[in-house]
Structure 1
């Protein structure tokens, strides 16, 4: 098992020193789902949620979250993002699946940015629809793929 890198010689938390790492292109993709009452999804499709266009707002919220990651997650580095994309698919019944892709050309990866973008977009859907459906469930938020850097390529394998 790899040693954890976020501890100093006194066994206290530290931000990892990435000073000597090479700048490389890096990408991370994450996903997550929100399940709701079928009527809620129907109202999202029809634009009948009082707070506005649910998916447009969720998309912007996810992008904003990716850009703010270092302010929310204590040991994350401030990373200049070169791209953030968020896509929505649904099963025309009761579930919306979100996929986020975050890119940079930097010395450290963007996995947390991609996961945070997905989680925030899902929470935004919940927030915008909670007046009609408090029973929504957010599940399966995880890293799907990451590429670039010393640790190489990762693809999620269902266990």
Structure 2
């Protein structure tokens, strides 16, 4: 089964699809179309109202689609870097946790809270994440991210409109 197929059968996917778990959709500054809060994904996952994935193929330089894909890729890199930092500090993430899911969730949430504290604290942030580390990791990660196998799916028109609104807004920031 593909990553997307496994994800579609998961509890997380069903919670994401339940819109009562999210803040209300809002408009970007200067825009009139409200967009929901979304999760960032790669091409292996299905585009939906709550999951944004890149436009397929290679878009022309400077196009809305290409700018959107670049921003989505940067967001994925930041996420990957954060997990890399957390894994290097909290070794519990180096191998599968042989725990009940509720206990693994508590440990993960605790590590996220500690990560945020260490990163923001005046006394620890320079030791936890020295200046330039994130930028260096992002540069390295840009070259390491490989696309996963894409499984063709037909997204809803609503999901396409949401992605288009994200693309139009990001494009407007450059022009």
Bigger relative contact order (CA 8 A; separation at least 6)? 1
Q: Same fold (TM over 0.5)?
A: no
Task: Using structure 1 for the length normalisation, give the TM-score.
Answer: 0.26
Question: Larger % of strand: which?
Answer: 1
Question: Larger % of helix: which?
Answer: 2
Task: Using structure 2 for the length normalisation, give the TM-score.
Answer: 0.24
